[in-house]
Structure 1
Amino acid sequence: MFAARAVFAAGQRRAFSASARNLSKVTVLGAAGGIGQPLSLLLKMNPRVTELALYDIRGGPGVAADVSHVNTKSTVTGYEPTPEGLASALKGSDVVVIPAGVPRKPGMTRDDLFNTNASIVRDLAKAAAESCPEANLLIIANPVNSTVPICAEVFKARGVYNPKRLFGVTTLDVVRASRFVSEIKGTDPKDENITVVGGHSGVTIVPLFSQSKHPDLSSNDKLVNRVQFGGDEVVKAKDGAGSATLSMAMAGARMTDAVLRAAQGEKGVVEPSFIDSPLYKDQGIDFFASKVELGPNGVEKIFPVGDVDAAEEKLLEACLVDLKKNIAKGVSFVAANPAK
Structure 2
Amino acid sequence: MGRKKVTIVGSGNVGATTAHWIAAKELADVVLLDVIEGVPQGKGLDLLEAMPIEKRDCSIIGTNEYADTKDSDVVVITAGIARKPGMSRDDLLNTNFKIMSDVVSKVVAQSPNTILVIVSNPLDAMAQTAFKQAGLPRERVIGMAGVLDSARFRTFIADELKVSVENVTAFVLGGHGDTMVPLSRYSTVAGIPITELIPADRLKELETRTANGGAEIVKHLKTGSAYYAPSAAATEMVEAILKDKKKILPCAAYLQGEYGISGLYVGVPCKLGAKGLEQIIEIKLTADEQAALNRSADAVKELCSVIGMA
TM-score higher than 0.5: yes
Deviations 1:45-88 (A, max 9, x none): 12221x11111112111111111112210011111x3xxx12x2
Which residue among 31, 40, 47 is the counterpart of 1:67? Answer: 47
8 Å Cα contact 1:280-1:288 kept in structure 2: no
Cα offset for 1:318?
2.5
Cα distance, 1:70–1:119 mapped onto 2, change above 3 Å: same
| Separation of aligned partners in 2, 1:155 and 1:289 | 20
Could you say if the C-alpha distance between residues 279 and 303 of structure 1 is closer, same or farther in structure 2, counting changes exceeding 3 Å?
farther
State the 1:90 CA deviation: 2.1
User: Per-residue displacement from partner, 1:251-281 (whole Å, max 9, x unpaired)?
Assistant: 112221122121xxx4x32211101123458
Q: SS in structure 1 opposite 2:282? A: coil
2:3 is aligned with 1:23: yes
**Structure 2: distance between partners of 1:305 and 1:165:** 23
Spell out the pairing of 1:165-204 with structure 2 (5 A cutoff).
165-170=140-145, 171-203=147-179
Distance in 2, Cα, partners of 1:214 & 1:57: 45
Distance in 2 of aligned mates of 1:328 and 1:283: 16
Tell me the number of residue pairs that the alignment of Structure 1 and Structure 2 aligns: 295
1:312 offset after TM fit, Å?
A: 3.2
Matched, 1:261 2:255: no
Q: Does 1:292 align with 2:277?
A: no
For 2:131 and 2:270, locate their aligned partners in 1 and report how far apart those are by CA, in whole Å: 18
Q: Aligned partner of 2:184: which letter?
A: F
Q: Once the 2 structures are TM-superposed, how far is the Cα of residue 320 of structure 1 from its aligned partner?
A: 2.6
Aligned position for 2:220: 237
Q: Distance in 1 between matches of 2:114 and 2:264?
A: 21
Answer yes or no: is the 8 Å Cα contact 2:150–2:172 preserved in 1: yes
Name the counterpart of 2:292: 315
Instruction: Give identity over the alignment, percent.
Output: 26
Q: For 2:263 and 2:277, how far apart are their aligned partners in 1?
A: 18
The one-character-per-residue Cα deviations of 1:142-194 (angstroms, maximum 9, x if unpaired) are 011110111111123xxxx2110111001111110111111111111121111
Q: Distance in 2 between matches of 1:279 and 1:214?
A: 30
CA–CA distance in structure 1, aligned partners of residues 302 and 91 of structure 2: 14
Q: Which position in structure 2 is the counterpart of 1:117?
A: 96
Separation in 2, partners of 1:324, 1:285: 9
Q: What is the RMSD of the two structures over their aligned residues, measured on CA atoms?
A: 2.0
Q: Match of 2:205, as an amino acid? A: K
Q: What amino acid is aligned across from residue 235 of structure 1 in structure 2?
A: V
**What is the one-letter code of the residue matched to 1:63?**
K
Match of 2:182 among 197, 207, 220: 207
Measured in 1, the distance between the counterparts of 2:78 and 2:205 equals 29
Partner amino acid, structure 2, of 1:255: M
* Matching residue's letter, 2:115: N
The residue identity in structure 2 corresponding to 1:45 is A
Aligned equivalents of 1:254, 1:306: Cα separation in 2: 26
Report the CA distance between 1:104 and its aligned residue. Answer: 0.4
Uncovered stretches (5+) of structure 2, i.e. residues with no partner: 188-192
Q: Equivalent of 1:133, from 89, 112, 130?
A: 112
Report the Cα offset of residue 107 of structure 1: 0.6
- 8 Å contact kept, 2:140–2:275: yes
Is the contact between residue 125 and residue 265 of structure 2 (CA under 8 Å) also seen in structure 1? no
* 1:6 counterpart residue number: none
Partners in 1 of 2:100 and 2:128 — Cα distance?
10
TM-fit CA distance, 1:106: 0.7
Whether contact under 8 Å (1:285, 1:327) holds in the other structure is no
Map of 1:51-62 to 2, 5 A cutoff? 51-58=29-36, 59-62=39-42
Which residue does 2:190 correspond to in 1?
none
Q: 1:305 & 1:237 partners in 2: Cα distance? A: 36
1:190/1:279 CA distance change after superposition, 3 Å: farther
| Structural mapping, 1:20-169, within 5 Å | 21=1, 23-31=3-11, 33-49=12-28, 51-58=29-36, 59-71=39-51, 72-79=56-63, 81=64, 85-86=65-66, 88-156=67-135, 161-169=136-144
**Whole-angstrom CA distance in 2 between matches of 1:327 and 1:192:** 34
Instruction: Show the counterpart of 1:17.
Output: none
* Counterpart for residue 221 of structure 1: 204
